[in-house]
Amino acid sequence: MTIFVDADACPVKAEVETVATRHKVEVAMVSNGGLRPSNNPLIQMVYVDHGADVADMWIADRCGPGDVVITSDIPLAAKAVSAGARVLKPDGEALTERNVGQALATRDLMTDLRAADPFRQGGGRPFSKQDRSRFADALERAVRAAKGG
């Protein structure tokens, strides 16, 4: 079992390390660079080449059943779910076979709407303490479930 983290913009790296340490699970923090290495022997820093979706492809090529993937990237989430991995967004939302298709469709719709109206402003809501707490609880449950089969 490995926890794969799409780490470049991930706001919950510390929570991942805490849960991984508690359960003695290896973590691959995948980024294009710029992250400080961890002294934790369970944390592997994986630096991939710069370029669109290079980190996502690295994770998608390696994750599978029994693994947990942490990402906000919906196309990566869809690939990871298809590979049999458990997927969590940093706010704690689980993406599964039941809901990842809807998430992908919503993402595509929002991309089209932004392209149609270049003056459209805004983004997601700010990341909150509740999101961080919800994520930590969700990751704890996901790791326990993955370890249990």
Task: Summarize pLDDT for 3-14 with one digit per residue, the tens.
Answer: 999 998 899 999
3-7, 59-63, 71-75: lowest mean pLDDT where?
Answer: 71-75
* Three-state secondary structure of 49-87: CCCCCHHHHHHHHHCCCCCEEECCCHHHHHHHHHCCCEE
Residue 135 and residue 16: Cα distance in Å, rounded? 9
**What is the DSSP secondary structure assignment for residue 92, as one 8-state letter?**
S
| Strand 94-95 with 26-31, pairing | unpaired
pLDDT for res 30: 96
The CATH number given to whatever domain includes residue 121 is: 3.40.50
Instruction: Tell me the C-alpha distance between 14 and 20, whole Å.
Output: 10
Strand 68-70 with 86-88, pairing? parallel
**Residues above pLDDT 70, as percent of the chain:** 84
Model confidence band, residue 50 (pLDDT cutoffs 50, 70, 90): confident
Residue ranges making up the domain that contains 86 = 2-148
Give the count of domains, the chain: 1
CA 38 to CA 85: how far, in whole Å? 24
How confident is the model at residue 56, as a pLDDT?
93
Mean pLDDT value of segment 116-133:
77
C-alpha 115/C-alpha 42 separation (Å) is 42
